[in-house]
Amino acid sequence: MSTVTSEGTQTHGESAKPIEAIESAIVRFVGDSGDGMQLAGTQFTTTSAVFGNDIATFPDYPAEIRAPAGTLAGVSGFQINFSSRDIHTPGDKVSALMAMNPAALKANIADLEDGGLLIVNVDEFSVPNLKRAHYESNPLDSDAFDRYRVYKIPITKHTFEAVKETGLSTKDASRCKNFYALGVAFWLYDRPLETTLAWINQKFAKVPAVAQANTLALKAGYHFGETAEIFTVRYRIPRAKLAPGKYRNLTGNQATALGLIAAARLAGKPLFYGSYPITPASDILHELSLHKNFDVRTFQAEDEIAAMCSVIGAAYAGAIAVTGTSGPGMALKQEAIGLAMITEVPCLIINAQRGGPSTGLPTKTEQADLWQAIIGRNGECPVPVLAARSASDCFSAAIEAIRVAVKYMTPVILLSDGFIASGSEPWRIPDAADLEKIEIKHADDAETFQPYERNAAGSRPWAIPGTLGLQHRLGGLEKADVTGDVCYDPDNHQHMIELRARKVQNVANDIGDQEVFGEPSGDLLVASWGGTFGAVWSAVQRAQAEGHKVSHMHLRWLLPMPKNTGAILKRFKKILVCELNMGQLQFVLGGHFAIESEGLHKVQGRPFMIGEIHEKIVQVLGGQTP
């Protein structure tokens, strides 16, 4: 993927090595869970972002907290795609792989592009470690890696030497290896050290020996690149032309949390977040619980059912009420979501999807909870559903979801997934003053109040306990139109089911028309939803550039869909639906619009690669490039 630009090679700063300017690169740090790869990756990301590249990242860690050192089960990785262009995914094939042990090498080598850089910590290629990784012999001694540019560095030894003067224990000294590796990577891609050095000093202010050791390791790695004779070239990725503004790197979960806090503030309400920890949603809870000075009231419930029910209570009592979970927890919440739906209280349920079924692949990404979200409850129980398309998009998706919930007095489901929830990308920081207020008008007139009277949007009044004279009772039994009294009348039941369904359909009035990227008609429409946006968009761009008559439709709203969705679908000869499941959106499109389509279905716990989508597009179009 990384391509040499027309600028060719040049030298830079004080470096004696030639610097090649390239458009983008993909670096992946891999090692043992205990090796600090997530940290190295994050630092590389921040530095690149501050430097001015567009970036996208993909952390990948095992389900065990710390599987036995050196085993395949314990491999942890962090990938960064950084570029001088707009990018939307962490990238397909890796340009440079930093492997801290044999297991990490084994688990990741397949993703390294031909000719890519392979940097290994040779010190860890001992016989026991090779055995733990199920290598029969040392692969570095074979010709298996001839198609890569292999650099064997004794990272462990170098690190020990570098930090000797700090007097740290062997164990602590060994912990600095990641900074050494990071130093090498910084040198290789011509990144400044300042951001990381500042971070180290702040983070370890209370343990100066550690701060010093990490600093020494980082610099040692950097200097190694410069002085050792093994690297013949280094790279530079120029600044990207991003929209001007202040940026910050944010995971989807952080963005969600900020969106929720903002929404509550825009509504002038306390934020109630009732949740039960579950990967990959827990970080929303963690982030929110830090911000109590925004009148954020977090409640760690005893389970997901209690969490959802507490949300119903909080919504009834007038808070902006939200819960977050992942697939199995979502299953547990469904009965209570039905209660929120029939009582028509406004609230938000976030599902950061992970690999299923059942416990499945809990730390991996997947999009297989779409059906569950839109039609997985008992009875006729439609609930608006939308999906965020990237980490930073979670911010606005959260605000939009709350806006719909309170306007339509309904639970809303927001889908993200492990990939965007834990992955991060740059976020252009908005000015709070530019965010539109969320208008809430509670019922307050005792003379005219009727709990189930509807306004033009089909929504009922939000009357909160504490309001004089508005005493009323809500519940899960069918209720009479207008009064809300319990009612078993047959026609009323049909009427109420229709009113509730129509209300959800009315949300389509607020979400605008469905956008199409590319021509409004053509040979092929590629449809996608959720966190696969970047990959699908990039693949379609590539195919368009090749001259294919292909467009891209990314659905943010899954229920209801924008009003023109059906019309768009009918303007293309073929439809290809790409999703990280076995065809859930595809089925839904068939159900709604009676259309035939092809599907690209990936369920491997991993995001799409641009290449595989592009390949599929070309194949569906007959296999030929125009």
Partner 1 sequence: MSAIDTPLKPKDFKSDQEVRWCPGCGDYSILSQMQKVLADVGAEKHNTVFVSGIGCSSRFPYYMDTYGFHGIHGRAASIATGVKIANPDLTVWVITGDGDGLSIGGNHFIHTIRRNIDLKIVLFNNRIYGLTKGQYSPTSEVGKKTRSTPFGSIDNPIHPIAVALGVEVTFVARCVDVDVKNMISVLKRAAAHKGTAFVEVYQNCNVYNHMAFAYASDKKTKDDHVLYLEHGKPMIFGKERDKGIRLNGTMPEVVDLGSGISQDDLLIHDEKAAEPTLAYLLSRMRYPDFPEPMGVFRALEAPTYEAVLMNQIEEATRQKGKGNLNELFGAGDTWEVN
Ligand X SMILES: Cc1ncc(C[n+]2csc(CCOP(=O)(O)OP(=O)(O)O)c2C)c(N)n1
Strand order in the sheet with 411-417: 296-300, 271-275, 320-325, 347-353, 411-417, 385-387, 557-559
b or e along 33-59 (b: 16 or more beta carbons within 10 Å of the residue's beta carbon)?
Answer: bbbbbbbbbbbbbbbbbebbbbbbbbb
Other beta carbons less than 10 A from residue 319's beta carbon: 23
Question: In residues, how long is the chain?
Answer: 626
Residue with smaller CB distance to partner 1, 191 or 602: 191
Q: Which of residues 16-75 bind partner 1 (CB under 8 A)?
A: 46, 49-52, 64-69, 71, 73-74
The nearest distance, CB 302 to ligand X, in angstroms, is 10
Interatomic CA distance for residues 209 and 165, integer angstroms: 9
Q: Are 434 and 299 in contact (CB under 8 A)?
A: no
Q: Which of residues 242-281 bind partner 1 (CB under 8 A)?
A: 242-249, 258, 261-262, 265, 270, 272, 274, 276-279
* 594 scored as a contact of ligand SF4 (CB under 6 A): no
* 440 scored as a contact of partner 1 (CB under 8 A): no
The nearest distance, CB 62 to ligand SF4, in angstroms, is 12
Judged by beta carbon distances under 5 to 8 A according to partner kind, the member of a copy of itself, ligand SF4, partner 1, none in contact with residue 585 is: none
The nearest distance, CB 333 to ligand X, in angstroms, is 10
What is residue 66's three-state secondary structure? coil
| Binding-site size, ligand SF4 (CB under 6 A) | 2
Residue 559 parent element (H or E): strand 557-559
x/- binding map, residues 66-95, to ligand SF4, per CB under 6 A?
Answer: x-----------------------------
Q: Where are the beta strands (DSSP E) in 61-167?
A: 75-83, 94-99, 112-121, 149-153
Interatomic CA distance for residues 416 and 404, integer angstroms: 17
Q: Report the phi/psi class of residue 165: left, alpha or beta, with left for phi > 0 and alpha for psi in -120 to 50.
A: alpha
Judged by beta carbon distances under 5 to 8 A according to partner kind, the member of ligand SF4, a copy of itself, partner 1, none in contact with residue 366 is: a copy of itself
Judged by beta carbon distances under 5 to 8 A according to partner kind, the member of a copy of itself, ligand X, partner 1, none in contact with residue 467 is: partner 1
User: Across-strand partners of 137?
Assistant: none
Judged by beta carbon distances under 5 to 8 A according to partner kind, the member of partner 1, ligand SF4, a copy of itself, none in contact with residue 474 is: partner 1
| Contact residues: ligand X, CB under 6 A | 276-278, 304, 328-329, 332, 359
The nearest distance, CB 217 to a copy of itself, in angstroms, is 30
Of residues 527, 524, 600, the one with CA closest to residue 562: 527
* The binder of ligand SF4 chosen from 3, 16, 65, 545 (CB under 6 A): 65
Q: Where are the beta strands (DSSP E) in 390-456?
A: 411-417, 424-428
The nearest distance, CB 398 to partner 1, in angstroms, is 13
Judged by beta carbon distances under 5 to 8 A according to partner kind, the member of ligand SF4, partner 1, a copy of itself, none in contact with residue 394 is: none
Phi then psi for residue 413, to 5 deg, are -110, 130
Judged by beta carbon distances under 5 to 8 A according to partner kind, the member of partner 1, ligand SF4, a copy of itself, none in contact with residue 289 is: partner 1
Q: Are 600 and 580 in contact (CB under 8 A)?
A: no
For residue 280, whether the previous peptide bond is cis, meaning omega lies within 30 degrees of 0, is yes
Contacts of 253 (CB under 8 A, 6+ apart): 280, 281, 283, 284, 287, 352, 394, 416, 421, 422
Judged by beta carbon distances under 5 to 8 A according to partner kind, the member of partner 1, ligand SF4, ligand X, none in contact with residue 487 is: none
Interatomic CA distance for residues 612 and 381, integer angstroms: 37
Interatomic CA distance for residues 14 and 186, integer angstroms: 15
Q: What does the DSSP 8-state code read for residue 175? A: T
Residue with smaller CB distance to ligand SF4, 4 or 486: 486
Interatomic CA distance for residues 621 and 626, integer angstroms: 10
Residue with smaller CB distance to ligand SF4, 10 or 359: 359
Of residues 135, 109, 110, the one with CA closest to residue 120: 109
The nearest distance, CB 441 to ligand SF4, in angstroms, is 40
The tokens for 554 are 């990314």
* 16 scored as a contact of ligand SF4 (CB under 6 A): no
x/- binding map, residues 496-535, to a copy of itself, per CB under 8 A?
Answer: -x---x----------------------------------
The nearest distance, CB 580 to a copy of itself, in angstroms, is 10
Q: Which of residues 172-211 bind ligand SF4 (CB under 6 A)?
A: none
Judged by beta carbon distances under 5 to 8 A according to partner kind, the member of ligand X, partner 1, a copy of itself, none in contact with residue 558 is: none
x/- binding map, residues 591-610, to a copy of itself, per CB under 8 A?
Answer: xxxxxx-----xxxxx----
Judged by beta carbon distances under 5 to 8 A according to partner kind, the member of ligand SF4, ligand X, a copy of itself, none in contact with residue 302 is: none
Instruction: Note the residues at the interface with a copy of itself (CB under 8 A).
Output: 62-63, 73, 305, 326-328, 330-332, 334-335, 338-339, 341-343, 355-362, 364, 366, 368-369, 371-372, 375-381, 475-478, 488, 490-491, 493-494, 497, 501, 581-582, 584, 587-588, 590-596, 602-606
Instruction: Note the residues at the interface with ligand SF4 (CB under 6 A).
Output: 65-66
